[in-house]
Amino acid sequence: MTEPTNFSGQHAVQVPPVLRSRQELIEKGVTFPEADVVPIALPITSSGATYQMAQSLAWLDDHHFLVGRWDGSISVFAYTETQPFDGPLITKAANSPAFQGVRMVVPVARRSFITSNDDRTIALWNSREGDWSDLRLSGTFAYAPSLGVATAGRVGIDGKTVVIGHTSGHLSIWNLLSGPPRLTFVRSVDLRNPNPVNPWGLHDIHAVEVLDASDGTQRVISGSEDGYLCIVEVPSGEILSQMVYNPTAQRGINDVNVRGESILVANCSVGAADRNLWYYTIDRSTWAVVLRDSANLIADTSRPQVFNFNTIWGAYSGGPCWFASTEEGALWMGTAETGIDVIGYQAVTSPLGSALGWRAPGRLVMVAYDLYEFNT
């Protein structure tokens, strides 16, 4: 066998296998002896750390998705399903104008999206190129600081109404104007639960989803850290219903996802009797949210609590399904018709919640620090 050579004709050095981190080996069951030298506190002072976990994710088109992170960055990635050994490829990166964590990303038009910025503005971005490589900031749009940072949002079915949730427990409603895209504030709606289910008194609205508007009226459903599920008519702001998703809840809502009349709610389960995935349907005669089933997505049942960070409806070869990401680094999958059926889970990343995004016909992305893509 001839030894490999480099371009200069010299013998090439054999490349060793990829070296894995100690933490990865531990997670795979490899054990290490106790250290002979005990760690000590060094004579240095920490001046901070950059937290790069993904906080928000949205598909921009059939081939590109956007990730907002706690470090204030936004990144556009190209889905690369034709390259089985390559992950998503970054197309464009930018920073929040306020250099704060990006808690919300909302596509609002074919070439535009909105992100959170600081506690009194949101940012509007646009691009003319199909690969988003010329992404630029169109401007920031102000609102009352008392509303707090934008934490979730959606554009209405009419393409002209934008609904945004805030840390204060309020919704803000905006008009989206074209040519060039710009936003005008319409009103805010107070959706706070007077008795928050969490022990810290938080009201952050983590999810806003658009309901079917077959009757010509637009409505959204929101899910909050204080435990409230609320259905609101827009742009009027009329509150149609409010309920605590679980009367015995000890933590609030992390995510909501809607498919037709079916609603999935993700939360953190505390204790063996709690659940972190809830399934509801909407009664349109009263706008009541009716509980159908619940499940606890947990691999290590000795854990005192398990976060369900994100849940989405999707589809696979067997038909409609749902996906969920939990703090154990697991990607869960199942179906929900009359009740919740759990297919199982796959260990994907380190113990940490991940943002999920699914787009037809079968493209699933999962992002924490690393990015993973799957074909469903």
**pTM for the whole structure:** 0.87
pLDDT exceeds 80 at position 105: yes
Q: Helix (H, G, I), strand (E, B), or coil: what is residue 10?
A: coil
Q: In the structure encoding, which two tokens stand for residue 148, read together? A: 């707090």
| Mean pLDDT (whole number) for 363-375 | 92
Q: What is the pLDDT of residues 276-314, one digit of tens each?
A: 999 999 999 999 999 999 999 999 999 999 999 999 999
Could you count the other beta carbons within 10 Å of the beta carbon of residue 237? 17
CA-to-CA distance for 284 and 57, rounded, in angstroms?
A: 30
Reported confidence tier of residue 175, pLDDT bands at 50, 70, 90: very high
Query: ∠ CA 325-328-331 to the nearest 5 degrees?
Result: 30
Domain boundaries, position 369? 254-376
The verdict on residue 309 lying in a domain is yes
How confident is the model over 219-278, as pLDDT tens digits?
999 999 999 999 999 999 999 999 999 999 999 999 999 999 999 999 999 998 999 999
26 belongs to a structural domain: no
- Collapsing DSSP states into helix, strand and coil, what is residue 97? coil
Q: For residue 213, name the pLDDT band (cuts at 50, 70, 90).
A: confident
Sign of CA dihedral 149, 154, 159, 161: negative
Does residue 17 sit within a domain? no
CATH of the domain at 264: 2.130.10.10
Q: Over range 334-348, report the average pLDDT.
A: 96
Cα dihedral 147, 354, 75, 372 in deg (nearest 10): -160
On whether residue 354 sits in a domain, the answer given is yes
| Residue 133 belongs to a domain | no
Contact 125, 76 (CB under 8 A): no
Is 322 inside any structural domain? yes
Name the residue with tokens 């999935």.
264
User: Average model confidence (pLDDT) for the chain?
Assistant: 90
pLDDT at 193: 98
Does the residue 214 lie in any domain?
no
pLDDT over threshold 90, residue 17: no
Residues in the chain: 376
For residues 181 and 136, the model is more confident at 136
Q: How many domains does the chain have?
A: 1
Is 80 inside a domain boundary? no
Cα angle value 198/204/207 (rounded, 5°): 110
Q: For 146, which DSSP code?
A: G
